[in-house]
């Protein structure tokens, strides 16, 4: 749980700073996905050894399961068979992932739709992701994210340094690293593929 406390401390330190959003995003990406289960594994991010949650206003099905169990135990009921409950937990985890994917896709769709009439415009942004196929940049002004394909970086042959989250030019040693400010120009907006392409400005 020491790592969790360190992450929380880091998140506190970057609050209100330009890199806050980037650090939060990376921290979330590095954590393992939460799943519903009958096994108590605590809460990594909160550094709790014991944890359950329910949010009454939302009334998600996992919340209802917790409500029912609490009510049963408060009324003096005996423990339930964990096997069918574990299957329900597994199903809820799968459906939550489906919902998260749908949410991500719809946000990306609306971002591309919003940017589709801004082809050629220049924006300031920050490098939010580095892969072997390109650089992801989040625009400061509106938080829309697009990619600069590596094939469009034609001043050098760039190689991924995965350990240090950067692309490095083989000849020039020029580098693009996570969190680096850049200016981009909107090059393409493909609504069908939910894809924004940028070029360096």
CA distance 71 to 102: 33
Q: How far apart are CA 77 and CA 130, in angstroms?
A: 53
CA distance 39 to 53: 14
Return all residues near 182 (Cβ < 8 A) that are at least 6 apart. Answer: 124, 125, 126, 127, 135, 137, 176, 200
Task: Give me the mean pLDDT over the 52-72 stretch.
Answer: 82
Q: What angle do CA 143, 136, 102 make, to 5 degrees?
A: 65
pLDDT tens column, 115-156 = 999 999 999 999 999 999 999 999 999 999 999 999 999 999
Predicted confidence at residue 57, as pLDDT, reads 63
Q: Where are the domains of the chain?
A: 32-111, 118-200
Tokens of residue 117, six digits = 């009439």
Residue with tokens 């929380």: 8
Q: What are phi and psi of 171, to 5 degrees?
A: -90, -50
- Look at the chain and count its residues: 201
Please determine, for residue 110, whether its predicted confidence score (pLDDT) is greater than 70.
yes
Both structure tokens of 51: 């944890």
Q: What are the beta bridge partners of residue 67?
A: none
Question: Does the pLDDT of residue 35 top 90, yes or no?
Answer: no
Nearest to 155 by CA among 147, 167, 139: 167
Q: Tell me the average pLDDT of the chain.
A: 90
Please report the pLDDT score of residue 56 as a whole number: 62
Could you report the per-residue pLDDT of 91-104, keeping only the tens digit for each?
999 998 999 999 99
Half-sphere exposure of 33 (CA within 13 A, CB side): 8
Local confidence band at 20 (pLDDT 50, 70, 90 cut-offs): confident
pLDDT average, residue stretch 171-190: 95
Q: Are 157 and 148 in contact (CB under 8 A)?
A: no
26: three-class secondary structure by DSSP:
helix
| Predicted local confidence at residue 58, as pLDDT | 65
* CATH code, 118-200: 2.40.50.140
For residue 190, is it left (φ>0), alpha (ψ between -120 and 50) or beta?
beta
């Amino acid at each position: 749980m020491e790592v969790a406390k360190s992450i929380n401390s880091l998140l506190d330190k970057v609050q209100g700073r330009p890199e806050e959003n980037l650090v939060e995003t990376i921290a979330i990406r590095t954590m393992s996905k939460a799943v519903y289960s009958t096994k108590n594994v605590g809460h990594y991010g909160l550094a709790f050894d014991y944890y359950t949650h329910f949010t009454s206003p939302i009334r998600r099905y996992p919340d209802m399961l917790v409500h029912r169990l609490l009510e049963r135990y408060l009324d003096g009921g005996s423990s339930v068979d964990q096997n069918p409950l574990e299957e329900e937990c597994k199903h809820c985890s799968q459906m939550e992932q489906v919902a998260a994917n749908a949410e991500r896709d719809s946000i990306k769709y609306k971002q591309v739709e919003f940017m589709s009439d801004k082809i050629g415009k220049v924006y300031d942004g920050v490098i939010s992701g580095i892969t072997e196929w390109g650089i992801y940049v989040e625009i400061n002004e509106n938080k829309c994210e697009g990619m600069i394909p590596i094939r469009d970086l034609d001043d050098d042959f760039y190689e991924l340094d995965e350990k240090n989250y950067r692309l490095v030019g083989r000849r020039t040693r020029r580098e693009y690293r996570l969190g680096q400010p850049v200016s981009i120009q909107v090059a393409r907006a493909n609504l069908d593929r939910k894809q924004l392409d940028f070029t360096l400005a």
